[in-house]
């Protein structure tokens, strides 16, 4: 049985990667990857682009997502820990999932804006410079 090169954890510019989904697929193809999962942080935005880009490459796309979550330790005084959970073979058009990811991104943007406002008290920085 021939071996296959599989990458089940990759990010595009839709989260913290630097390449578009199409560029990511081209690079993976050039590296001999047979199966690629696109697992951007808290977004499914690149799945459609990746689906189009992978056509004709002979590669298989696994649509995915990397979800941010917190583990709450039941012990008194324990601090919640942040973890990332990979979801594979997700439906990139699931309305409930898409809406929840939008809510998470909006909350993150609101939190970032508050951080910038606090920094602006002591530093020459503005929201317009950051976003």
pLDDT, tens only, 10-20: 999 999 899 99
Do 40 and 101 reside in the same domain of the chain? no
Do 62 and 117 reside in the same domain of the chain? no
CA 10 from chain centre, in angstroms, equals 8
pLDDT band at 6 (very low <50, low <70, confident <90, very high): very high
Do 131 and 75 reside in the same domain of the chain? no
Between 124 and 23, the more confident residue is 23
Indicate the DSSP class of residue 59. Answer: -
Expressed as residue numbers, the domain containing 31 is: 1-91
Do 79 and 100 reside in the same domain of the chain? no
- Give the residue-averaged pLDDT of 57-85: 89
Do 30 and 10 reside in the same domain of the chain? yes
Q: What is the pLDDT of residues 74-105, one digit of tens each?
A: 788 888 888 999 999 999 889 999 899 889 88
| Beta-strand relationship, 60-71 and 81-88 | antiparallel
Do 77 and 98 reside in the same domain of the chain? no
- Give the residue-averaged pLDDT of 117-131: 86
Do 102 and 74 reside in the same domain of the chain? no
Do 8 and 70 reside in the same domain of the chain? yes
pLDDT of residue 1: 67
Residue of 55, 53, 64 whose CA lies nearest to 97: 64
Do 18 and 49 reside in the same domain of the chain? yes
Maximum Cα interatomic distance, the chain, rounded to a whole number of Å: 63
| Beta-strand relationship, 35-38 and 6-10 | parallel
Do 86 and 100 reside in the same domain of the chain? no
Do 130 and 73 reside in the same domain of the chain? no
Instruction: Round to the nearest angstrom and report the end-to-end CA distance of the chain.
Output: 50
Whether this prediction's pTM lies above 0.85 is answered by: no
Between 20 and 125, the more confident residue is 20
Token pair 């021939």 in the structure block, residue: 2
pLDDT of residue 47: 96
For 18, the 3-state DSSP assignment is coil
- Give the residue-averaged pLDDT of 19-31: 97
- Give the residue-averaged pLDDT of 69-76: 82
Do 46 and 22 reside in the same domain of the chain? yes
Domain count, the chain: 2
Whichever domain contains 65, its CATH number is 3.20.20.140
């Amino acid at each position: 049985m021939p071996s296959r090169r599989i990458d089940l954890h990759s990010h595009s510019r839709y989260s913290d990667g630097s390449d578009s989904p199409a560029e990511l697929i081209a690079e993976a193809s050039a590296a001999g990857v047979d199966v690629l999962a696109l697992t951007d942080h808290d977004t499914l935005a690149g799945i459609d682009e990746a689906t189009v880009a992978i056509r004709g490459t002979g590669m298989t796309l696994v649509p995915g997502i990397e979800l941010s979550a917190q583990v709450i330790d039941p012990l008194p005084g324990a601090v919640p820990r942040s973890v990332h959970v990979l979801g594979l073979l997700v439906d990139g058009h699931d309305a409930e999932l898409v809406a929840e990811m939008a809510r998470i991104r909006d909350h993150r943007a609101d939190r970032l804006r508050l951080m910038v406002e606090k920094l602006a008290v002591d530093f020459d920085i503005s929201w317009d410079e950051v976003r």
